[in-house]
A and B are shown apart, each in its own frame.
Chain A
Amino acid sequence: MVSSVVGVDFMTSRKNILSRILSQYGISLALLIEIILFSRLSPFFFTTENILNVTLQISITAIIAAGMTFVILTAGIDLSVGALVALSGVLATSVLKLPIPLIYSFPLFLATGILVGVFSGWLSAFFITRFNVTPFIVTLALMSIWRGGAYLYTGGRPVWGLPHAFSMLGGGRVAGIPLPTLIMLAVYAAAYIVLQYTRFGRHVYAVGGNQEAARLAGINTKRVLRQVYILCGVLSALSGMLLASRMNSGQPNAGLMYELDVIAAVVVGGASLFGGRGSIVGTFVGAMLIGVSRNGLNLLNVNSYIQQIIVGLVILVAVMLDQMRKR
């Protein structure tokens, strides 16, 4: 009686091919179907320029979704991300208004934005771990506070009149690929490595699977939660700064309702809101699915009321496919 193979899953070979494909690929398949559909319906969809356009469009929410994946893996949630996009955007861009050359103000801009993200994440984790308030409530409160803060700080007006060179960050291209797209890919590559191959990543899964068991296994669960919320905050701030650069202004009303798109991407990507299950690749596909839906419907000039309904249906179908996979 050695632990080695006892028997192969011979049941699976009996299942029909369709359900096997479904079980293996779930939402990736949905994405593929969607891409084929839109390619046939619009001649402008499957073009290099539009593919780059889609990746550019989703980059902002997808970067946040990478951070949100970590949070949701720990059975948490962060509703403050959209407001944080606005707050980090307006605070960071206001640094660029200082009468110093961009070479000096740009690092300061980055530092300010990231600091805002770190602070927000730290504060969320502080209330969650110290006072045992549920993440939903803590981050709901912060969402309101940061949004109000962004309006208050700017008096409701955008921060504008920024140096033109600043728009290179969000608008620039390297080898023809938009910079935000490249940053997004880098973030996902890093997140994948961290989740799959580092102790921290393993701890994130463990804390989400069973927090008390993780603690008793010697994991500093509070530290893991702190790191996770800070990571999500920093990535939201990074998105906020990229978005500000793309608009060459800090908009206090930027990122409205982003939290819902972001959470949808993570959940469509197969993560469980109860923690412990999910993957970064899934989140990426989830973000693509939602982004491609929006883009394709816009290309087809579908009425915006109908668009909302279709995007909702896409989310439902994707989650349903994922449930069938788990059966």
Chain B
Amino acid sequence: MISLLLISLILVSIVPLHKNTIFNLALSRIVSIILIFSSFLIMNIYYIDRIYSGVHIFYGYISINSINQVFQFFLLLIGALISVPGSVLQNNKLIQTSNLIFQNVHPYLNNYGLIILFNLIGACALITANDMLTLYIAIETQSFSLYLLSTLKNDSIRSATAGLKYFLIGSLASIIILLGIALLYYASGLTNFENLALYFNITDFNPYYSTLILSIGFILIGLLIKVGAAPLHQWTPDVYSLVPTAVTTWLVVLPKLSIFVLLLQIIELILLGSITIQNLLIIISILSLIIGAIGGLYQVNIKRLLAYSSINNLGFLIIALTISNKVSLEAFTFYLTQYTFTTLNIFLILIAFGYLAYLYPIKNNRMFITQTKELSNSNLNVGDQTQDINFINQLTGLFKNNPILTISFIICLFSFAGVPPLMGFFAKQQVLLASLSVGFIFLSLIAINTSVIAAFYYLKLIQVSSFINNDLSLNLQKKFFKNTDKLADTLSKGVGQGISKNFFNSNSNISHVHSYLISILTCTILLYAIKPTLLLNLTSILAFYAFSI
């Protein structure tokens, strides 16, 4: 279905209208609807008791099992949800303002739908891969579309930098994976996952044992570079902070989800190799926890901060993956689900902040001044830099401007920090319980301590958005909806230092769908404790099948 949609979009792109921004917004709605329908198509044929151990299709290159079907459903649904903010417009009156906001987004919207569909095809192929060749092709399909996605805003020096950096690091990771696959084939003559698992199981003495371990290590390291786990994480904060927020949302959520689901399915194959691989994973998880917690402390850019937060979360995921028993896989599935929900919600809120409180960074912010100078030197539009919420300082006074949205933001941050009774707390608790159950006391202590350290920067975000008030927004927000033109004129005469005139011209609301989406995700995170059985039962069943596959 996705491939049919892709072909249809390519055909539509020959119409001259495809350069029209509104036409592209309308197309993105159709893409969202079809992605939701595609996820139903998966559920239409989801019979857990028929496909539990995996049904091979396409000559065994793809395997459909009870786990990857659920995650394919999840992946397509999340893909549809991320496409939603692309179509934010309230009514005809807002078109002028929205065009101002979208003016630099316009070029990338033209091909956004096409590229996310490529990406989803790669991601779906990756999580259903049953052969090293499928794995490599799928990961390349996924990665190529991500490089393109990063550079879609090709009139921006920031996007070009991000794309090039992502491409170089991603290519390096791909080469490492390919080297691993070649070594694996050299040592075993096999590429199929099941054959490899059998080979590892039945071989008591293997002259190529060290080569096999090395190959598995290479593949694992390549995959971990792709997800941005420490100490291979350096590209993550740079790329996430340089691309537009709508693209960052995609980069943070989708590739991680697909690669971790793949790792969940082949973890036994990976761990069958040797205790060395397990130790390697433990070291990576410890480093991710520590670097993710400490790296975020001194950030002034909110997307860099969230990138470090994601590295910290990866640490927890890798712990659950390393333990690899039923309890830990249950924790892993649950953690991955809540991480996806919370990250998606945070970025949807950031996009909404970008539309609503279209605040320029405060002028005395050194980062802003430096970057503005850089941009003016490079003859690029400063608006290119400022249409997204980039700096933490830009969040000041948001509680006064939009309390409900800010509360949603705070709930997500508390959930990330692991404050009960939010969803993030239970996810962390499950991982720690699984870790303690196998005697990883030191690892659990590190996880708890880094979680406390990471809470500092989450609290800093809450403090900035809720307790530090921007006087201008405080004084003027009451009049804001009454007489926007007059207010904007007043501000343009010098009162409104640091705040864009556009902000006051726009009585923009985010779209209904966008706001309902944020509400639903926030309620899920907040009210999870009231009815936890639904998600817990699902994760238990999935872990059961993951363990039996």
Q: A and B bound?
A: no
- A residues within 8 Å of B by Cβ? none
